Homo-oligomer: A and B are copies of this chain.
Amino acid sequence: MEFLKVDSLDSARAKLFAHAKDILGGEEVIPAAQALERVTARDLHANDDIPGFRRSTVDGYAVLCADTAGAGESIPVFLTLKGRVEMGETADFSIAGGEAGEVFTGGMLPAGADGVVMVEYTQPFGENGIAVNQSVAYGENMVLPGEDMCAGQILLKRGKQILPQDIGGLAAAGITSLPVYATPKVTILSTGDELVPPDQTPAPGKIRDINTYALSALAIKHGLVVVNTAVLPDEWDAIEGAVRAGMESGDIVIVSGGSSKGKKDMTRAIFDHVSTPGVFTHGIAVKPGKPTILGADSVSRTLLVGLPGHPVSAMMVFELLIGWLLREAAGKPAPPAIPARIDCNLASSPGKLTCWPCSLREEGGQYIATPIFGKSGLITTLTGADGYLIAPRDLEGLQAGQSVMVHPL
């Protein structure tokens, strides 16, 4: 229980990442059809050229482009129809000068063709011919083998969060299962003698528990599996038992509350008691979030996280540390922050990063961010927020009209 100095956010993140390396980062192989929003654990390569043959991108006629040179409305070119390529079939004929083959969108081109004229620019002519009234450039209205993807090409990089279009790309490439990062399992404990379940009307002095609900939802949003939640009194044995159970059953144990002086630093003492090497960060220079505790146990391979009891502070620290860690461990980029101008002055806390929840509105292609003021215990400062901005610790504050980046919530 040596005294630990308050860490900067960067320093807390660096320590957390170093301890998490052996704990997170496991892989599992899952079906591509179930991979939406999971994160690729390796680079994925195309196995074949896609498409595997020359395809038309329109309904029309495969031709030799040279035959159509100079064709126009008033001077059509006449070609002999050699056959038709049915959808899904091999072209069983080839064409030579003066000939054409009917093709449909996505269908295979007959050998000899080097372009496709759209049906709109043709007319039937005679018994077995067409009149073409537009010239076609070399390679026009067709796709070459490998033009979508080439064998060996990287289709999705490691750390890619899989979107619907990526699932399409995997199907195209014939990749039906893939390695993704395993989903970390988390236990969420909310501590405090003042807490009652949300379905009860709290007696004076008591309040409804928010954190097991809000932090579980946040964990799910960040791709974690919540294995257990509990609301506990400020009693050592109850908390120690629940932390130990969480260490057995998962990868991360979160305890909110219990870390301010009123709770006599019990969370920190329990973390140190049950884990090796134990607590490595106690306090971060972030407002809100100072009483944050970070620890690790190398035996059960668990991260131990003590969050402030205030729901808004707890959620902000979760975003800044656990949300960040999950992206960083997977090599996944952050969701794009939104450039905006703030519409009022904002004071900073000297020596601390300050997180401000804010709402966003669009005005003429620009976003205006309105910080939401409110004391740190008020959940409604966050229910109205579209995101948050971070005022750096080395600034006196932010001026109305200044450009900021708003991180979506």
User: Measured between alpha carbons, how far is A176 from B213 in the docked complex, in Å?
Assistant: 10
Give every chain B residue within 8 A of A87 (Cβ-Cβ): 192-194, 205, 234, 262-263
Task: Determine if B165 and A409 form an interchain contact, defined as CB atoms under 8 angstroms apart.
Answer: yes
- For A367, list chain B residues within 8 Å (CB): 336, 339
| Residue A166 at the chain B interface, CB threshold 8 Å | yes
Contact check, A210 vs B171: say whether CB atoms are below 8 A apart.
Answer: yes
The docked-state distance in angstroms from the alpha carbon of A156 to that of B104 is 52
Q: Name the interface residues of A73-118: CB closer than 8 Å to any CB of B.
A: 85-91, 104-108
Considering only residues 202-260 of chain A, those with a C-beta below 8 Å from chain B are: 202-211, 213-218, 220-221, 234, 260
B336 touches A168 (CB 8 A): no
**A36, chain B: closest CB distance, angstroms:** 5
Chain B positions within 8 Å of A121 at CB level: none
- A contact residues, total (Cβ < 8 Å): 103
A285 CB within 8 Å of chain B: no
**Chain B residues near A210 (CB-CB < 8 A):** 168, 171-172
- When distances are taken between beta carbons in the complex, the residues of chain B under 8 Å from A234 are 87
A349 at the interface (CB under 8 A from B): no
Q: Does A366 lie at the interface of the complex (its beta carbon under 8 Å from any beta carbon of B)? A: yes
- Interface stretch of the complex, out of A2-10, A20-28, A297-305, A371-379: A371-379
| Docked complex Cα distance between A36 and B226 (Å) | 14
Q: Show 16 A/B contacts (Cβ-Cβ < 8 Å), sorted by A.
A: A52-B204, A57-B377, A59-B260, A85-B205, A87-B194, A107-B262, A108-B204, A143-B377, A163-B383, A168-B217, A169-B383, A171-B208, A171-B210, A171-B213, A176-B198, A336-B408
Interface-side segment among A125-133, A147-155, A179-187: A147-155
- Residue numbers in B under 8 Å from A378 (CB-CB): 143, 147-148
Contact in complex: B88, A168 (CB < 8 Å): no
Whether A382 is near chain B, meaning CB under 8 Å from some CB there, is yes
A106 to B48, CA, bound (A): 62
A159: chain B residues at CB < 8 Å are none
Verify A106–B59 contact, CB threshold 8 A: no
B106 touching A213, Cβ below 8 Å: no
Q: What's the nearest-Cβ distance from chain B to residue A352, in Å?
A: 15
Report, nearest first, the 5 A-B pairs whose CB atoms are least far apart: A104-B262, A168-B214, A88-B194, A164-B217, A88-B193
Q: Which residues of A contact B (CB under 8 A)?
A: 32-33, 36, 48, 50-53, 55, 57, 59, 85-91, 104-108, 119, 143, 147-149, 155-156, 163-176, 192-195, 198-211, 213-218, 220-221, 234, 260-263, 309-312, 315, 336-339, 360, 362, 365-367, 375-380, 382-383, 385-386, 403, 405, 408-409
Chain B contacts of A143 at CB under 8 A?
375, 377-378
A156 and chain B: residue at smallest CB distance: B383
A88 x B205 contact (CB < 8 A): yes
Copies of this chain in its oligomeric complex: 2
Q: How far is the CA of A386 from the CA of B160 in the complex (A)?
A: 12
Contact A214 B119 (CB under 8 A): no
**Interchain CB contact (< 8 A) of A383 among B119, B168, B338:** B168
A109 to B361, CA, bound (A): 38
**Alpha-carbon distance between A283 and B115 when the two chains are bound, in angstroms:** 26
Please determine whether B32 and A213 come into contact, CB atoms closer than 8 angstroms. yes
Other-chain contact of A149, B164, B214, B380 (Cβ < 8 Å): B380
Q: In the complex the two chains form, is B375's CB within 8 Å of A147's CB?
A: yes
With A106-B377, A262-B104 given, is the CB distance from A91 to B383 under 8 Å? no
Chain B residues with Cβ below 8 Å from A90 are: 203-205
Tell whether, in the assembled complex, residue B380 and residue A148 are in contact, meaning their CB atoms are under 8 Å apart. yes
